[in-house]
Amino acid sequence: MKTLFNVDEVAQMIRSGRRLLLAGNDLLLSQLPRGAWIGGTIPYFMSEWGGIETNQLIQVVELPDFVISSKAICYDTSDLKNIPQDYEENGASFIIIPAFSEVHKAFAKECVNFPGLFDRPLLGWVSGFHLLGETPKQAKVYDGFSGTSYSDRAIVLHLALRSNKFGKVNILNLFKQGEGDSIRFKSTGFEVGECSINGQPRNFCDYLKEKNIDTQLPMVANYSGAMINVSIMALNEEAKTVQLYAPVFSDVEYKFADPVNNYEAEFEKVLKEMGLQNPTFSCNCILNFLYANLKGKKTGDIVGPMTFGEIAYMLLNQTMVYVTFEDRAA
């Protein structure tokens, strides 16, 4: 199935009235006409050819014909809490947030407290940029309905579905809690210093260095059987703090994950066990792309952007997020 297209091909799809989710380079997205689409910047993809980096093509997801209406709404930090109020009665909502923006941080830390957050499917991703070279290091999102881009707002496409359909958000996380130390933090945040290790106070940066922890492995919290990752971004040895790609939450137990020795093979094994084929939309993490060396490799038949964060109601790391649409019982 073809997923990557040039600007002219995508522009024609938009003009023909298709409802689209788009991912690609800022210069490409900025050339597109107004229409029923939202998008975000990213140059990394799991494609029909395998893992790829490109600034020349746009990845396209066309929404199914049982989507009967769509509306795009932008949210800043002050009104993120209103996202659930805009859910459709029988719908699903796609969200894209620019990486490292204040709205990114606010959503990650506060979303679990939004009234009604889990009442309808909400999923999406964090847009980004090329990590190397001299390309602009600013993530953007696009509201194709108005033709406007933002680096400081989240864009949400709220969909209304035919009455006989409903959406289901799921995650596929290959990482499991290891048998190592129990780690807890006193506060919620993207940057941490002090923590407790097996109940004893420690500095987290010192702990990582002393134990020679492989920081390509995420910390994992077990939320009633759902394994939720938090990935390490960088150690600031001068300040003795550690920057994270997602916030840790206070008084939640984290443990570092066991290694996944062959991500591609393990992914395909899990897909086969699940029987998952061609979800309507999926995204996976740039850290999996880089650490598991997925360039040129496939993750089964699954395609989608390789992102700076994945959203299944809340912000996730090193996880695949996907949505399927199913028939509602008569």
Q: What is the pLDDT of residues 150-200, one digit of tens each?
A: 999 999 999 999 999 999 999 999 999 999 999 999 999 999 999 999 999
CA–CA separation, 102 and 77 (whole Å): 7
pLDDT surpasses 90 at 245: yes
CA–CA separation, 24 and 142 (whole Å): 11
What's residue 135's pLDDT? 73
Beta bridge partners of 234: 243
Q: Do residues 38 and 22 make contact, with C-beta atoms less than 8 angstroms apart?
A: yes
What six digits make up the tokens of 322?
Answer: 């996907």
Q: What is the pLDDT of residues 266-283, one digit of tens each?
A: 998 998 888 877 899 999
Q: Do residues 321 and 310 make contact, with C-beta atoms less than 8 angstroms apart?
A: yes
Buried residues in 82-119 as b, exposed as e (16+ CB within 10 A): ebbeebbebbbbbbbbbbbbebbbbbbbebeebeebee
Taking 3-state DSSP, the helix, strand and coil percentages for the chain, each rounded to the nearest 5, stand at 20, 40, 40
What six digits make up the tokens of 209?
Answer: 């260095």
Q: Which amino acid is residue 43, in one-letter code? A: P
Q: Which amino acid is residue 175, in one-letter code? A: F
CA–CA separation, 304 and 4 (whole Å): 10
pLDDT surpasses 80 at 70: yes
Summary mean pLDDT of the chain: 95
Question: Kindly report the CA angle at 326 between 321 and 328, in degrees rounded to 5?
Answer: 140
Of the listed ranges 19-23, 88-92, 187-191, 267-271, the one predicted with least confidence: 267-271
Tally the C-alpha atoms within 13 A of residue 324's C-alpha that lie toward its C-beta.
11
Q: What is the pLDDT of residues 109-119, one digit of tens each?
A: 999 999 999 99
Where do we find the tokens 């997801």? 61
Question: Which class for 179: exposed (0-12), middle (13-18), buried (19 or more C-beta within 10 A)?
Answer: exposed
Q: Do residues 154 and 96 make contact, with C-beta atoms less than 8 angstroms apart?
A: yes
Question: Kindly report the CA angle at 296 between 229 and 321, in degrees rounded to 5?
Answer: 30
What six digits make up the tokens of 238?
Answer: 């001068």
pLDDT surpasses 70 at 79: yes
CA–CA separation, 210 and 53 (whole Å): 36
What's residue 272's pLDDT? 86
Of the listed ranges 26-30, 226-230, 269-273, the one predicted with least confidence: 269-273
| Continuous segment of H or E residues that includes residue 226 | strand 226-230
CA distances from 14 to 156, 236, 301 (A): 18, 45, 25
Does residue 1 or residue 80 have the better pLDDT? 80
Mean pLDDT, range 280-305, rounded to an integer: 94
CA–CA separation, 115 and 122 (whole Å): 13
Of the listed ranges 46-60, 127-141, 226-240, 295-309, the one predicted with least confidence: 127-141
Q: What is the pLDDT of residues 127-152, one digit of tens each?
A: 999 998 777 789 999 999 999 999 99
pTM, entire model: 0.95
What's residue 330's pLDDT? 67
CA–CA separation, 197 and 40 (whole Å): 38
Q: Do residues 325 and 66 make contact, with C-beta atoms less than 8 angstroms apart?
A: yes
Q: Do residues 98 and 127 make contact, with C-beta atoms less than 8 angstroms apart?
A: yes
Q: What is the pLDDT of residues 305-321, one digit of tens each?
A: 999 999 999 999 999 99
pLDDT surpasses 90 at 251: no
What's residue 277's pLDDT? 75
In this prediction, residue 73 has a pLDDT band, given cuts at 50, 70 and 90, of very high
pLDDT surpasses 70 at 88: yes
